[in-house]
Amino acid sequence: MAKLDADTPIQLTFHKLIVLMVTTRDADRVKHLCVTKFGYSEKDAEKAIAKAIEAITLAADFDRREEIGTAVYRFNDLYEKTSSMQDHKTALAAENSRCKVLGLYATADHVAYKEPTDNMSEEEAMIRCYLLPHVGNEETSTVELARLAALKLTDHINA
Mean pLDDT score across all residues of the chain: 78
The residues, ordered by sequence, that sit 6+ positions from 42 with a Cβ below 8 Å of its Cβ are 31, 35
Mean pLDDT, residues 3-10 taken together:
44
Please indicate whether residue 2 or residue 20 has the higher confidence score (pLDDT): 20
Q: Tell me the pLDDT tens digit for each residue of 72-120.
A: 899 999 999 999 999 999 989 999 888 888 877 655 444 555 666 777 7
* C-alpha to C-alpha distance for 135 and 145, rounded to whole angstroms: 6
Q: Tell me the pLDDT tens digit for each residue of 26-84.
A: 888 889 988 888 888 999 889 988 888 888 877 777 677 778 888 889 999 999 999 99
So what's the pLDDT on residue 158? 67
So what's the pLDDT on residue 1? 37
Q: pLDDT band at 6, cuts 50/70/90?
A: very low
Q: How many residues does the chain have?
A: 159
pTM attached to this predicted model: 0.37
Burial of residue 1 (number of CB atoms within 10 Å: 0-12, 13-18, 19+): exposed
Q: What is the DSSP string of 113-141?
A: P----TTS-HHHHHHHHHHTTTS--TTS-
